[in-house]
Structure 1
């Protein structure tokens, strides 16, 4: 696919869950990092994108594991690589894009717990410790993994730094790709 997408007359297409979605931004990052000729095709969610991927109406997409993996297991979709930071997630033998040569590539949606500014530091520390403890429980880890979600725990400072790093990266990609909110 990469070889085909680098051809001067290439006209690959890639699906996303919609303009500005993480998988749209990941696609823009990927085509720039891979020097591919590809056009973004936005959908209203991953499920609609997967339908067109399976039908061959688009060439590739960055699709949430919970949506894509049932189709992969059914033999209707082929998983090429993972955009995870952590090797070994998803089906056995699938490399991350980092392992495949895209050294900095990580595109993982995330969720976090936040509150209003000014929460006293001891309360933040207590909540953070409790959440980190819960996220280590095997039952929680297993339940999340079943829907291709993985706990990422740490300190409030690490979470803040991660948000800043990702915001800076996505801001640069949005600017470079000239993505406009609709």
Structure 2
């Protein structure tokens, strides 16, 4: 379900608009060699005002990817690109605005199904499936300034020292991810 955009077409009005914007930009087609995958709060229905569209990609040649991103989206409002690393893993990300959304394209030399953004989303979706009432509490915490992973950790009573790692460990311990 979460590996395609199909569920967005029949989802909430905002999910439908997100799908439309992604399709208008042809991200999934034009960047298909990078295995693009939509992650984040909008696909699982816990977005708040100003939530962005996060599309992760598997990138081994950062220069090539960055050039393609600049050539394709460099003219859009708020375009910026950054190359950095997180926990010794290099990444590039580009941000820009299109339609009513901020987009974040994230490239890392890791298969998309092993990237943390995807794994977090799988854990979060599984938890929401178990307890749909959790959505409102998560949204409230996010509206009050917590990041998604920190909001889940708070609701689950997990340490917020490193909510990204805590949520992944929790998901692994529950068999939600490997």
**TM-score for both structures, normalised by structure 1:** 0.29
**TM-score for both structures, normalised by structure 2:** 0.30
Answer with 1 or 2: which has the greater Rg. 1
